[in-house]
Amino acid sequence: MAGHGSHMGGCVDSVNDAGQQAPESGVDAGFDEDAVLLLMQWLAEQGAVVTISAGGSAVRPVREERWTFHVSGPVVVAEEGTIGQCVRNALPRLREAGMPVDEGMPESACMRGGGPEGTGMLVLDWLAEQGLSVFLKADGARTTPGWTLIVGGEPLTERQRADGPSAGRCLGRMLSRLRAEGVAVPV
């Protein structure tokens, strides 16, 4: 059964001879250490649905100012700007809405005032700069929080979707798919 896979949203997951998911390229690229992704995971664990997105085109690539960070569930917060600005602006609003961001949230650069963008966000920024539309969701409304990453636009032949139990798995799966489509992601 080597090489067989499951079809999901136009994408194929690799499965090895034992019927287990084959490791995706980029899973060990440090994605799960990204401060923005850690914040998204924490918010999802609180029951929120958190998304970040940027839409571009090959003619008019995304500029940093066009990112959207959205939290819904117990609270709704939407901001546009660089992802760092979005997170910094959202934190006080989350506090005002009663989210315990000072109690249980993982300590990270975005809480200390440093830059929140780690490897995962740098990859997503790079994809948007290439003119691709990017949508990442940490879904706390699911029984077990899960992640979805959708990337579309030229030069892709079709929109790509990757789902996973963590940001790292989701991003790793997407990197494999993008490379198979000929997108040379620099990670």
At 99, list the tokens. 């989210």
The answer on pLDDT for 174 being more than 90 is yes
Confidence of residue 15 (pLDDT cuts 50, 70, 90): very low
CB under 8 A, 24+ apart: contacts of 57-64: 57/131, 57/133, 57/153, 57/154, 58/131, 58/153, 58/154, 58/155, 59/131, 60/131, 61/128, 61/129, 61/130, 61/131, 62/128, 62/129, 62/131, 64/125
- Whether the model clears a pTM of 0.85, i.e. scores above it, the answer is no
d(CA 57, CA 133): 7
What are all long-range contacts of 60-63, with beta carbons under 8 Å and residues at least 24 apart?
A: 60/131, 61/128, 61/129, 61/130, 61/131, 62/128, 62/129, 62/131
Grouping H, G, I as helix, E, B as strand and the rest as coil, residue 139 is strand
Query: Would you list the domain boundaries of the chain?
Result: 30-180
Report pLDDT digits (tens) over 32-73: 567 888 888 888 888 889 999 887 655 555 554 578 888 887
Over residues 108-164, the pLDDT tens digits come to 544 444 455 678 888 888 888 888 899 999 998 887 779 999 999 988 989 999 998
